[in-house]
């Protein structure tokens, strides 16, 4: 079994559009939406939820004021400034480390387990999909990403799936690192704008730092062909392969409105480009050694 992650650095470059199309073309794959902050894959793959598991983020501190002797050791020890002068815990600032509970002299602090989201396992027309919902204001995106990945891997093992296709979040921080951990191949989707180019460079540094083999797709390349050329040059110098160039096209938005993927919606230059991209990605994956690293 192998794992492909689709990431981008910059948001809005077309990760989900491409991932959804891959899902529609893949045989025997399990699909994961790891963009838990702003998940969109379910809007085009129309999953029917078959199982929901509660997701518990970090426990939250609660101070029992009846027992509290107002020594303020907790406030002093808290590195997140989450305890105010009235000894009320700010739930958004509390990261759930438990240091306040540890230092409390009067056993007045308890760490309370709280459900902060759900992990869904669903059936789609294109196979099983794992996706999540995070309660707004919960600060456990990275941990939820890991929960989605763990669930996806166990389903993939159970189903003897050959491939996991993962839609990743934008950025280079915690949720992205959790997403790419253990992946066999990262497809980075970029666009020929200065922002797209800058963010590609940063996210490539991240995949290199964590030793994840990476390939690049330039989406909407014809919006600025000069910049698209620069991206190709940059990737060449860096020894990173550009495996696809997709034209700007309004059909992703139209397909989205019909709740379907670009490759199912209509045969046009873009859908043919996405098909060719998929073939390239499959052949790249075939060249990779089979690995399955444990999740952490």
Strands of 18-93, DSSP E? 29-33, 48-56, 60-63
The answer to whether 110 contacts another protein (rule: CB under 8 A) is no
* Joined tokens for residue 99: 């240091």
The answer to whether 99 contacts another protein (rule: CB under 8 A) is yes
For tokens 């951990």, the residue is 181
Torsion angle of C-alpha atoms 83, 86, 87, 93, degrees rounded to 10: -20
Q: Strand 185-190 to strand 214-218: parallel, antiparallel, or no bridges (unpaired)?
A: parallel
Our CB check for another protein shows the closer of 257 and 288 to be 257
Among 56, 98, 110, 295, binds another protein (CB under 8 A): 98
Our CB check for another protein shows the closer of 160 and 296 to be 296
The answer to whether 249 contacts another protein (rule: CB under 8 A) is no
The answer to whether 206 contacts another protein (rule: CB under 8 A) is yes
φ and ψ of 32, to 5 deg? -130, 135
Least distance between another protein and beta carbon 237 (Å): 18
Our CB check for another protein shows the closer of 128 and 172 to be 172
Provide the mask over 153-192, with x wherever binding to another protein is found by CB under 8 A and - wherever it is not: ----------------xxxxxxxxx-------------xx
- Greatest C-alpha distance within the chain: 71
For tokens 């330039």, the residue is 218
- Which residues pair with residue 155 across a beta bridge? none
The answer to whether 113 contacts another protein (rule: CB under 8 A) is no
The answer to whether 241 contacts another protein (rule: CB under 8 A) is no
d(CA 151, CA 32): 9
Provide the mask over 116-145, with x wherever binding to another protein is found by CB under 8 A and - wherever it is not: ------------------x-xx-x-xx---
Least distance between another protein and beta carbon 144 (Å): 9
φ and ψ of 244, to 5 deg? -170, 150
Length of the chain, in residues? 296
Of 112, 67, 114, the C-alpha closest to 87 is 67
Do 36 and 145 contact (CB within 8 A), yes or no?
Answer: yes
The DSSP-derived string for 63-126 is E-TTT-----HHHHH-TT--B-TT--B-TTT-----HHHHH-TTS-EEEEP-EEEEEEEEEETT
The answer to whether 264 contacts another protein (rule: CB under 8 A) is no
Which residues within the stretch 25-54 sit at the binding site for another protein (CB under 8 A)?
Answer: 37-38, 40, 43
- Residue 133, classified by CB atoms within 10 Å of its CB into exposed (0-12), middle (13-18) or buried (19+), is middle
The one segment of 92-100, 160-168, 231-239, 275-283 that binds another protein by CB under 8 A: 92-100
The one segment of 99-107, 112-120, 237-245, 279-287 that binds another protein by CB under 8 A: 99-107
Give contact residues for another protein (rule: CB under 8 A): 8-13, 16, 37-38, 40, 43, 58-59, 77, 79-80, 92, 95-99, 102-103, 134, 136-137, 139, 141-142, 169-177, 191-195, 198-199, 202, 205-206, 209-210, 223-224, 227, 253, 256-257, 259, 296
């Amino acid at each position: 079994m192998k794992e492909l992650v689709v990431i981008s650095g910059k948001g809005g470059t077309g990760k989900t559009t491409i991932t959804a199309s891959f899902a529609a073309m893949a045989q025997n794959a399990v699909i994961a939406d790891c963009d838990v902050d702003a998940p969109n894959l379910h809007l085009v793959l129309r999953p029917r939820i078959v199982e929901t598991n509660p997701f518990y983020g970090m426990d939250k501190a609660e101070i029992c004021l009846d027992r509290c002797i107002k020594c303020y050791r907790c406030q002093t020890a808290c590195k997140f400034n989450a305890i105010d002068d009235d000894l009320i815990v700010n739930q958004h600032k509390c990261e759930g480390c438990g240091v306040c509970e540890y230092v409390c002299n009067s056993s007045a602090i308890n760490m309370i387990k709280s459900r902060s989201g759900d992990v869904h396992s669903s059936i789609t027309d294109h196979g099983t999909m794992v996706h999540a919902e995070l309660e707004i204001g919960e600060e456990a995106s990275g941990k939820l990403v890991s929960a989605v990945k763990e669930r996806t891997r166990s389903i993939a093992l159970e189903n003897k799936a050959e491939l996991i296709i993962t839609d990743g979040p934008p950025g280079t921080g915690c949720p992205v690192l959790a997403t790419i951990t253990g992946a066999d191949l990262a497809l980075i989707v970029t666009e020929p704008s200065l922002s797209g180019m800058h963010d590609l460079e940063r996210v490539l540094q991240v995949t290199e730092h964590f030793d994840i083999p990476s390939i690049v797709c330039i989406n909407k390349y014809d919006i600025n062909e000069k910049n698209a050329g620069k991206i190709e040059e940059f990737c060449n110098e860096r020894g990173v392969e550009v495996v696809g160039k997709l034209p700007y096209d309004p059909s992703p938005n139209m397909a989205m409105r019909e709740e379907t993927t670009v490759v199912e919606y209509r045969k046009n230059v873009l859908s043919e480009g996405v098909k060719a991209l998929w073939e390239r990605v499959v052949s790249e994956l075939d060249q990779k050694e089979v690995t399955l690293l444990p999740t952490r």
